[in-house]
Amino acid sequence: MPVTIQPKTIDVPQPVLDDLYERLRRTRWPDEVPGTGWSRGVDLSYMKELIAYWLDEYDWRKQEAELNRFPHFMADVDGLAIHFIHQQGKGPNPLPLFMMHGYPWSFVLLLRILPMLTDPASHGGDPEDAFTVVVPSIIGYGLSAYPSEQGFGFQHHPAIYDQLMTDGLGYQRYGIEGGDWGGFLTAPFGYLHPEHLVGIHLNCLFPRLGDERDPEDKDPDILRGLGMKWAPVKPKDPDMLRYWKNVEKYWIDEGAYCHQQMTRPQTLAVGMTDSPAGLAAWIVEKWRAWCGWEDDFEKLFPRDMIITNLMLYWVTNSFWSAIRLYSESYYHPWELPAGERIEVPTAVAAYPHELAPIVRKRAERYYNVVHYNDYAEGGHFAIHERAEEMAEDLREFFRPLRKEV
């Protein structure tokens, strides 16, 4: 079936907004133990302030108009509606670059870096390094649909995106970049569809790509925590021990949301679909916790940006389909075959405040790493937080690969 593409203007019907504001006005708040702040989840006083701002000061129509300054499109790929921004590069030979976001993100977190890549000359760069950038709402998120059948995990996303890039947009060779789920997606993308990829750039490398246990540790009577299925029982390498200790800490301190979304997503979805305040609490707490800026997180993420991201989940009623990425990938897992790796040239931008900071030797186990940078600052949302640095890293990595397009 041929891929069809149509221009898209974001235009939320007014009754959807009226319903949202009515729900926000009728928010029923819980009580809290005094002095807990953010230590047990969201700070209640902050949430009340955010919801009041959402009602009284935030202007969706203004933000909608800002979003519509970018060229939006809708594609039909095998009957699946995919939303994306397609920004043409300004240079003699722009390289197509497909950039994937994560959860609980949307495409808005990639908008800061977008002009730095498409128009490098206006941002201190060389027009020879220009990219033509395609930024989707990944499948199930925001304006992109999700297939109705079970079993559509993260390993099935790349085939849809590759079809969009090649059959839909005519790019037979292109690069990809991803963080969070976008970083996860680079693995099946590079392994299953290498023929169209010039290079892979990633800044997040989570577990679950393969079995990393020693043979003597593969005892069915050993109890393993969720998310640690493939972890060594006692890593002998100090770098790997540090990595898996960070993974362990993530699962213990932050992993409850993930466990719920993997195993019982529909239960959670009922509450998040009914309450915009509940949706905001569930998502904003993660933005604050994962960015590493603590109480200064609104200096990194302006309040209008936070709410616009929430709006893209709410007005499309896509929270339930977004978290299906967790459950379908959990119940229908994928990993690299034992002893194999992704041979597409790969760049890694490693940030110290990532949820589980990347260890180079582990990245090299799974990818053909030809470009690697350890950065001194930055974390999980580096694509926004460290946009200038990430743009330069992308330019450096892809510069010698452009001749292959």
Amino acid at 59: D
Q: Which helix (H) or strand (E) holds 75?
A: strand 72-77
Question: Directed axis angle between helix 44-56 and helix 14-25, to 10°?
Answer: 140
Is 101 catalytic? The answer is no
- Give yes or no: 180 in active site: yes
For 373, the 3-state DSSP assignment is strand
CA distances from 389 to 116, 226, 383 (A): 10, 34, 9
The alpha carbon of residue 176 and the mean position of all alpha carbons in its chain are separated, in whole angstroms, by 13
CA 318 to CA 107: how far, in whole Å? 14
Q: Is 374 annotated as catalytic?
A: no
Active site residue: 43, 129, 180, 393, which one?
A: 180
Relative to beta strand 80-87, strand 4-8 is unpaired
Contact 178, 202 (CB under 8 A): yes
Q: For residue 333, what are its two tokens?
A: 């897992």
Cα 275 to Cα 23, 59, 85, 146, 367: the distances in Å are: 7, 19, 29, 22, 42
Catalytic residue among 161, 171, 243, 326: 326
Exactly one of 72, 201, 380, 384 is catalytic; which is it? 380
Torsion of CA 250, 254, 256, 259, to 10 degrees: -40
Q: What secondary structure does DSSP assign to 139-154, as a single string?
A: TTSTTS---SSTT--G
Both structure tokens of 232:
């060594």
Contact predicate 116/391, CB 8 Å: yes
Residue in the structure block whose two tokens are 């979805």: 269
Active site residues: 180, 326, 380
